[in-house]
Amino acid sequence: MFSVNRTVILALSCGLLLSACGGGKSGSAAHSGGAADAGRVLNLYIWSDYLAPTTLARFEKQWGIKVNAAYYDTNETLDAKLLAGSSGYDVVVPTASYFERQIKAGVYLPLDKSKLPNLKNMDPQLMAKVAFHDPGNAHGVIYLWGTNGIGYNEKMVKELLPDAPLDSWRMVFDPKVASKVAKCGISVLNSPAEMMRAVFSYLGKDPNSQKPEDLAQGEAVLLKIRPYIRSINSSEYIEALANGDLCVAVGYNGDVLQARDRAQDANKGIEIKYSIPKEGTILWFDMLAIPKDAPHPESAYAFINFVMTPEVIGEITNFKGYANANAGAQPLASVKNDPGIYPTPELLPKLSVQLADSADQTRAITRVWEKFKTGQ
């Protein structure tokens, strides 16, 4: 599945992504739910705004476990806490490329799958994809998956640039385009590794390239467009797009579609769209995993098993606009026919899995990114 140049071209069929193997009764881990045991706690560290409104309350009621939730908006923040040790968290949600490196560093507890009966609901072909990061799926379970692309307000963009290349990374990385669109606001993710892969795709290179010369070219692209970037963040762009404060944002598909829905609900004439750039982009998986020093591992198993209940993850997908890998939940997905969430077969060849960078590459990308953020 992986080519020698580290690029992974997906050949998932539409049937794989949208298939359903039927529901199933939710299983239990070490507790059957109901009244709370004294002091039962779960310390959850998860991406900001990444659950349905009822998820945690339902879990607390069913399992009698109090959830202490903390939030982050970059993989680098999570990575630093985990690698430092003694994070105090029971469940974390790393992106698979970071997860791969963290596994090698011995960060995670190997899963006792006997405590996760709802693993039977997971799509085996999608789990096989992340097994390239986590052999045998020994340390994690897919939470949600999606793509990176471009969110845009077509009306605002075309008022400035009628022939804007809305289906291309040129919208952001071509200075001739970005300089014109900048007047209505461009935002990019504060995610060095992901943004560098977008630049590599724009340049026609392997998105997982580790070559110093490719990174040097990527740095040159970023520095040329820096004057035209209004915002560098991984969460604020949702509201900014929905409110018309930005017209272009490099973002996660579910975030952009959430902005679209918020704009529609506000009924102020703002229409947000999402495109997968024709040059290609990355497909990512976010994982549920248990740090090896988790203070409440049994609570962690209960939560992961709860999230693998089709009704629970189905509600999260419908609310957040991100695809899940739970075959039993597919009949419950009201968004399953939205190509921005479940890419069509025609879009799939454009998607590459983000693999883990070497330690040297990570440091090099971080240096480039700091220069980009400061504009120096």
**CA dist 230 → 153, 160, 168, 339, 359 (Å):** 15, 16, 19, 28, 30
Look-up of token digits 């090099």: 364
In the predicted model, is pLDDT for residue 82 greater than 80? yes
Tokens of 62: 């069913």
Find the helix packing angle between 96-104 and 75-84, rounded to 10°: 10
Average pLDDT over residues 279-307: 96
DSSP annotation string for 13-75? -HHHHH----------SS---SSPPTT-EEEEEEETT-S-TTHHHHHHHHH--EEEEEEES-H
Q: For all residues of the chain together, what is the average pLDDT?
A: 89
Average the pLDDT over 98-127 and give the result: 95
Which two structure tokens, joined as six digits, stand for 361?
């590459």
Q: What is the pLDDT of residue 71?
A: 96
pLDDT of residue 39: 66
How confident is the model over 20-31, as pLDDT tens digits? 333 332 233 333
More confident residue, 269 or 335: 269
Which residue has better confidence, 64 or 340? 64
- What pLDDT score does 35 carry? 37
pLDDT surpassing 90 at residue 340: no
Which residue's structure tokens are 């990176």?
A: 148
Average pLDDT, integer, range 135-148: 97
Cα–Cα distance between 207 and 220 in angstroms, integer? 16
What's the pLDDT band for 269 if we cut at 50, 70, 90?
very high
Has residue 13 got a pLDDT over 50?
Answer: no
Q: What percent of the chain has pLDDT over 70?
A: 90
- What DSSP line would sit under 197-226, residue for residue? HHHHHHTTS-TT---HHHHHHHHHHHHHHG
Q: How confident is the model at residue 345, as a pLDDT?
A: 80
What residue has token string 């953020």?
373
CB 253 within 8 A of CB 274: yes
Q: What is the pLDDT of residues 194-242, one digit of tens each?
A: 999 999 999 999 999 999 999 999 999 999 999 999 999 998 999 999 9
Return the amino acid letter for 262.
R
For the chain, what is the radius of gyration of the CA atoms?
Answer: 20
Give residue 24's pLDDT: 31
In this prediction, residues 134-147 reach a mean pLDDT of: 96
Inter-residue contact 152 to 272 (CB < 8 Å): yes
- Bridge partners of 198? none
Q: Is the pLDDT of residue 182 over 60?
A: yes
Residue type, 341: I
> If we measure between CA atoms, which residue out of 149, 168, 152, 150 comes closest to residue 272?
152
Quick one: average pLDDT of 296-301? 98
Q: What percent of the chain has pLDDT over 90?
A: 78
